[in-house]
């Protein structure tokens, strides 16, 4: 089960506990005048609120909000000039999560230069390199490899 699904379920259960506590506390108290009943329901709402808080804390411990995903940038060369970001996202998205796509344009003419960069999750990037390098896309064989870091001359 993915972390996002687990996180969503955990928060849903936490909210359900909180709503259950409110329903136990509010409705019977409105109907009864007994002080003993009110005290019982007040302690019940505190117990359920603590359980909801504990459940949410456990959910955050299991699935922290900031899950770090290792990203890798790929160089994609020999692109057809008519290739779009949407088409590349669809192509690379088959192999993993695509975070961004940058198609390089000529500074003067603003026309495509035939290459770009795709930022993906690390495992998806490895799969994409293996599957797409030298594969034909829009009539041209793609060149897919790991991009060099900016500022490094290799």
pLDDT in tens, 51-105: 666 666 666 665 555 556 788 999 999 999 999 999 999 999 999 999 999 999 9
Single out the residue of 50, 66, 52, 65 nearest to residue 7, CA to CA.
65
DSSP 11: H
The pLDDT, as a whole number, for residue 86 is 94
Could you tell me which residues are beta bridge partners of residue 76? 116, 144
Same domain membership, residue 15 and residue 80? no
Task: Decide: pTM greater than 0.75.
Answer: no
Residue 133 has pLDDT above 60, yes or no: yes
Same domain membership, residue 48 and residue 7? yes
With respect to residue 153, please indicate whether it lies within any of the assigned structural domains: no
What CA–CA distance (Å, rounded) separates 129 from 125?
Answer: 6
DSSP characters over 49-84: HHHHHHHHHHHHHHS-SS----EEEEEEES--TT--
With respect to residue 85, please indicate whether it lies within any of the assigned structural domains: yes
Same domain membership, residue 36 and residue 83? no
Same domain membership, residue 140 and residue 78? yes
Q: Which domain holds residue 138?
A: 71-146
With respect to residue 108, please indicate whether it lies within any of the assigned structural domains: yes
- Residue 122's CATH number: 3.30.70.330
DSSP 149: P
Q: Which helix (H) or strand (E) holds 98?
A: strand 98-105
Sign of the alpha-carbon torsion through 114, 116, 121, 125: positive
With respect to residue 152, please indicate whether it lies within any of the assigned structural domains: no
Q: State how many domains the chain has.
A: 2
């Amino acid at each position: 089960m993915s972390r996002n699904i687990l996180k969503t379920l955990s928060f849903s259960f936490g909210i359900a506990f909180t709503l259950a506590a409110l329903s136990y506390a509010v409705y019977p108290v409105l109907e009864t005048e007994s002080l003993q009943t009110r005290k019982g329901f007040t302690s019940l709402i505190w117990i359920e609120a603590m359980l909801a808080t504990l459940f949410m804390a456990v959910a955050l411990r299991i699935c922290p909000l900031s899950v770090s995903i290792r990203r890798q940038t790929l160089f994609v060369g020999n692109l057809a000039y008519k290739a779009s970001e949407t088409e590349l996202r669809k192509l690379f998205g088959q192999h993993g999560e695509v975070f961004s796509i940058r198609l390089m344009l000529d500074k003067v003419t603003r026309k495509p230069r035939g290459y770009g960069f795709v930022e993906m999750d690390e495992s998806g990037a490895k799969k994409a390199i293996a599957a797409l390098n030298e594969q034909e896309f829009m009539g041209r064989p793609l060149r897919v490899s790991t991009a060099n870091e900016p500022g490094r001359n290799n």
